[in-house]
Chain A
Amino acid sequence: MAEPLLEARGVVKRFGHVHALQGADFAAYAGEVVALIGDNGAGKSTLVGVLSGVLAPDEGAILLDGAPVRFAGPQDARRAGVETVYQDLSLAQDLDAPANLYLGRELVRKGVLGRLGVLDRPAMRRDAVRAFAELGVTLKDPTVPVAALSGGQRQSVAVARAVAFANRVVFLDEPTAALGVVQRARVLETVRRVADRGIGVVLISHNMPEVLSVADRVEVLRLGRRVASLRAADTTIEELVGAMTGSLDRGDAADAATLVAAPETPLERPQQEPEPQPSEEEA
């Protein structure tokens, strides 16, 4: 468990004058749920975009199983077993849930029809109903467009899609934001179960109790940089909020260094940040 499954080192991403990521580090380990938290605009979604191949980083490295990789696009990341639930869900509203589940990797019929690209809709529907049932969602009619579903059901469709195909890492960018109590519990259950399959799960959430209850480890992002990596068992909501808002590390840089802890075993690689500058540069 020493080597991270997926790791970001010193990732920089700018949008014009906005420095969304300013040398961000991040690591996801197999079989572990890591929560990625931070204030609005801290760069969480941007980091997810970089690690899932949607955004090309301006600087920095991405390592998959310790080897540097470059994702030319999201399909590269998907091929590597990295799946994502995007904050905007990224669903085709006019297609039904099974079509969304299989978007970009549709099942086709056997034989000649398959070669012509004819879809195997019954099989897709079967798998979809089953995948949604696991999340506690029963779709009355799996053939209605996703646009006709409730916000929570739509979110479940996006979650189901990611967990159904992930075999290395799955990013969930605020997957429970629109969910009811039951569905939220089911998603968190699923998150655990997916991690128990040996997959690295990255959960982004603004809900601190939820984070502490489901995550093994918490990484805190502030102003485009990782400011803390904490074991969930050893931390408190106050400490997390302090790290997010910056009231904790105001004192000395050494403090921040001790906050960055590896899961279970200490990390092999040096904990040195490339350039531990005070993060007051700009936002």
Chain B
Amino acid sequence: MTTTETGRPPHTDTVTARTPPLLRRAAGVSELWTFLILAALVVFFTLAAPGKFFTAYDLTQIAVNAAIYLVLGVGMTYVVITAGIDLSIGSVLVLAAVAAGEWNIHHGGAGAGWGTVAVCVVIALVVGAAWGALQGAVVATEKVPPLIVTLGGLGAALGIAELATGGQDPADTAANNLQNTLGYGKLLGIPWLVILAAAVTLVFGLVLGTTRFGTHTFAIGSNPAASRRAGIRVGAHLVKVYALMGLLAGLGAVMWLASYGTTSIAGHSTDNLKVITAVVLGGTSLFGGRGSVLGTVIGVFIPAVLSTGLIVIGVQQYWQDVAVGVVLVAAVYIDQMRRRTRERS
């Protein structure tokens, strides 16, 4: 299908539209500001700790720490652009990790073969996607706001994971095969975790920015009624977006098992806040309709650079939380102001 059902308007012509100057476009891009903040941080830490901060080791460490949040952040970007939110991601990650881990325990444990590893990966992805789709289906009814749907989902998913394990992280949930490759392995010096996260970011960044699916995501966040009138199946689209978020939480579970070898049932209660912070820092509007995966990448790296940088220059890294908190509120404040000016016009 190269054109749409109704085809193009009858008067397709040869008038060429001018591409606007690159500079003007760049200035209008909301992630430019966050990028400048990130760049300023890097410059600051490089100058403050010459020869210590910008080392290959630090960069790798920062990237590995950020990899899982980046994968979650990509999904969250879609959700927030539809004017939604997903608080359940940490619990969904745990549930997917427990489901995959339980399979691993009973099919070879730490020494499990590649077949088991493959099944575990599929289990984690399917559990995550299914949970997300379920939440999306409830959101699509428009009877319960996403905040509440996913708050309920947060509790329920964690509860099920705890029921299945008795609340204790079981042993032998990750196969050595998985840990030695995805967990610690490198390709040309770059950790596989980072490569995977980069690939996910690239693919879904392109989907959001260049495809019909992406455009519909923005349209629904901008004006759901108009989207419906334009023939977009809003409910079905929301199910897909929340399922994508769940799928990526499942992928996050695989990455977590690979790099830490345990389900960390109690260790994901603030994932949602960290990821939403990154997405909002990256210029994605909590009111929907605007945002980008590129912005989220920057938003994920700001806290990561801050914490590594503060350690390197010998400042208590808890200042990171203070700094990120302040920047977050400022980011939303600026977004609000922009909306106000816009609505006044």
Give A contacts to B, CB under 8 Å.
54, 73-75, 78-79, 84, 86, 90-95, 99, 102-111, 114-119, 121-123, 125-131, 133-134, 141-144, 147-148, 150-151, 164-165
Q: What CA separation (Å) do A129 and B16 show in the bound complex? A: 8
Given the known inter-chain contacts A92-B289, A108-B2, A147-B342, please indicate yes or no for A119 contacting B212, CB distance below 8 A.
Answer: yes
**Which of B2, B5, B28, B289 meets A79, CB within 8 Å?**
B5
Given the known inter-chain contacts A105-B6, A114-B2, A148-B342, please indicate yes or no for A93 contacting B223, CB distance below 8 A.
Answer: yes
Q: In the complex, what residues of B have CB within 8 A of residue A151's CB?
A: 345
Asked if B228 and A74 make an inter-chain contact with CB atoms under 8 angstroms apart, the answer reads yes
Q: In the complex, what residues of A have CB within 8 A of residue B3's CB?
A: 107-108
Q: In the complex, what residues of A have CB within 8 A of residue B143's CB?
A: none
Question: Would you call B315 an interface residue if the criterion is a C-beta within 8 Å of the partner chain's C-beta atoms?
Answer: no
Asked if A130 and B6 make an inter-chain contact with CB atoms under 8 angstroms apart, the answer reads no
**Which of B1, B10, B226, B342 meets A114, CB within 8 Å?**
B1
Q: What CA separation (Å) do A114 and B24 show in the bound complex? A: 29
Asked if B289 and A103 make an inter-chain contact with CB atoms under 8 angstroms apart, the answer reads no
Q: What CA separation (Å) do A134 and B13 show in the bound complex? A: 12
Asked if B15 and A130 make an inter-chain contact with CB atoms under 8 angstroms apart, the answer reads yes
Asked if B231 and A75 make an inter-chain contact with CB atoms under 8 angstroms apart, the answer reads yes
Q: In the complex, what residues of A have CB within 8 A of residue B28's CB?
A: 144
Q: In the complex, what residues of A have CB within 8 A of residue B2's CB?
A: 108-111, 114
Asked if A127 and B9 make an inter-chain contact with CB atoms under 8 angstroms apart, the answer reads yes
Question: Chain B, 1-40, contact with A by CB distance < 8 Å: what is the 0/1 string?
Answer: 1111110111111111100100011001000000000000
Asked if A104 and B231 make an inter-chain contact with CB atoms under 8 angstroms apart, the answer reads yes
Q: In the complex, what residues of B have CB within 8 A of residue A107's CB?
A: 3-4, 8
Q: In the complex, what residues of B have CB within 8 A of residue A134's CB?
A: 11
Question: Chain B, 186-197, contact with A by CB distance < 8 Å: what is the 0/1 string?
Answer: 000000000000
Q: What's the nearest-Cβ distance from chain A to residue B193, in Å?
A: 27
Q: What CA separation (Å) do A210 and B1 show in the bound complex? A: 43
Given the known inter-chain contacts A92-B222, A130-B11, please indicate yes or no for A104 contacting B230, CB distance below 8 A.
Answer: yes
Chain A, Cβ-Cβ closest to B223? A92
Question: Would you call B225 an interface residue if the criterion is a C-beta within 8 Å of the partner chain's C-beta atoms?
Answer: yes
Given the known inter-chain contacts A74-B230, A92-B227, A103-B232, please indicate yes or no for A119 contacting B211, CB distance below 8 A.
Answer: yes
Asked if A126 and B15 make an inter-chain contact with CB atoms under 8 angstroms apart, the answer reads yes
Stretch binding the partner chain, chosen from B213-221, B240-248, B267-275: B213-221
Q: What's the nearest-Cβ distance from chain A to residue B17, in Å?
A: 4
**Which of A103, A117, A125 meets B226, CB within 8 Å?**
A103
What are 14 A-to-B residue pairs whose CB atoms are below 8 Å? Answer: A73-B228, A90-B229, A92-B219, A92-B223, A95-B218, A106-B4, A117-B211, A119-B215, A121-B210, A122-B17, A130-B11, A130-B12, A130-B15, A143-B25
Chain A, Cβ-Cβ closest to B13? A130
Most buried by B among A94, A144, A150, A165: A94
**Which of B4, B17, B232 meets A129, CB within 8 Å?**
B17
Chain B, Cβ-Cβ closest to A75? B231
Chain A, Cβ-Cβ closest to B290? A94
Asked if A73 and B15 make an inter-chain contact with CB atoms under 8 angstroms apart, the answer reads no
Asked if B212 and A103 make an inter-chain contact with CB atoms under 8 angstroms apart, the answer reads no
Q: What's the nearest-Cβ distance from chain B to residue A105, in Å?
A: 4
Q: In the complex, what residues of A have CB within 8 A of residue B231's CB?
A: 73-75, 78, 104-105
Q: What CA separation (Å) do A105 and B230 show in the bound complex? A: 8
Known: A84-B229, A108-B212. 16 other contacts (CB 8 A): A74-B231, A79-B6, A95-B219, A99-B215, A104-B227, A106-B212, A115-B1, A119-B215, A123-B12, A126-B15, A127-B13, A128-B17, A131-B11, A134-B11, A141-B20, A147-B342
Task: Pick the 8 closest A-B CB pairs, nearest first.
Answer: A104-B230, A75-B231, A94-B289, A164-B9, A105-B4, A92-B222, A104-B231, A90-B226
Q: In the complex, what residues of A have CB within 8 A of residue B210's CB?
A: 118-119, 121
Chain A, Cβ-Cβ closest to B19? A143
Q: What CA separation (Å) do A143 and B4 show in the bound complex? A: 21
Given the known inter-chain contacts A130-B15, A144-B28, please indicate yes or no for A93 contacting B230, CB distance below 8 A.
Answer: no
